[in-house]
Amino acid sequence: MWLEARKNKITYTELAFSSYPKNEPNMKLFFISDVHHRKISEKIISEIKGNVDLIVIGGDLAEKGVPLSKIEENLKALTAIAPTYFVWGNNDYEIDHLKLETMLKNEGVVQLVNSSKMISNVLSPIYLIGVDDYGHHFDNLEEALKNCNGGFQILISHNPDIKKKIRENHQISLILSGHTHGGQIRLFGWGITEKAGFTKLKKDLYMLVSNGYGTTRLHLRMGAPAEAHVITLRSI
């Protein structure tokens, strides 16, 4: 259980979409959530360096008791690799969120707070869309989507319950989330939350709920080992 909580595993996944721009090169993104008290290992950093196009931090980079110096160290390691994007999680609000916000800006991290960012527009736009923490009721999906005009849309929400707000008229193709730690401790396959992983919610809409990289309170895992992700996106 101690070892599972401290794994430095990257899960590799390739997803193909009919909505992905046909002549756009494949995109590789690194997704990490729920870092909490951990320092991102050199093994992880070395493995993704030069191998990903962008980095997405899916919330809970921090929590009460985590030194700002450790958060800064993690941010510097990630931003040195690729453009980095961040959404807020519930535990991020346990520290001085203004100091965290300033640190994110200083390190060049783009915060997606009920907003979107066009990251490619070769033939058809690709958008990263981020909502603020669902658990605090800070999320506003409609506001986040208002500047998206078609294209390929990736939604990042720390809390996977954002899926309850997805409507038929939304053109989201991929949802990235964490928060649940995959149940963190699973006995005989049972956990307090659903097992983490990718699910297909409907045609051309996939959702990832990550086990996350760190833990909070109880620093043990069973059946839901720590992980981060490299996701390759391509056209069908």
Q: With 90 as the cut, is the pLDDT of residue 123 above it?
A: no
Q: Cα angle vertex 51, ends 176, 207, to 5°? A: 15
Mean pLDDT value of segment 213-234: 93
Output b/e per residue, 69-101; b: 16+ Cβ within 10 A.
Answer: ebbeebbebbeebbbbbbbbbbbbbebeeeebb
User: Cα separation of 162 and 114, whole Å?
Assistant: 12
- Give the chain's radius of gyration (CA, Å): 17
User: What does the pLDDT look like over 55-100, one tens digit per residue?
Assistant: 999 999 999 999 999 999 999 999 999 999 999 999 999 999 999 9
The pLDDT of residue 47 is 98
Q: Is the pLDDT of residue 208 over 80?
A: yes
> Tokens 């049972």 identify what position?
190
How do residues 94-105 score in pLDDT, each as one tens digit?
Answer: 999 999 999 999
pLDDT at 74: 98
Q: What percent of the chain shows pLDDT beyond 90?
A: 81
Residue 185, pLDDT > 90, answer no
Using pLDDT thresholds of 50, 70 and 90, give the confidence band for residue 132.
Answer: very high
Q: What pLDDT is stored for residue 186 in this prediction?
A: 84
| Residue 17: Cβ-neighbour burial (10 angstroms; 0-12, 13-18, 19+) | middle
Record the pTM. 0.95
Task: Evaluate whether 26 touches 232 at the Cβ level (below 8 Å).
Answer: yes
- Structural class in CATH, domain 4-235: alpha beta
Q: Are the beta carbons of 122 and 23 closer than 8 angstroms?
A: yes
**Is residue 122 pLDDT above 70, yes or no?**
no
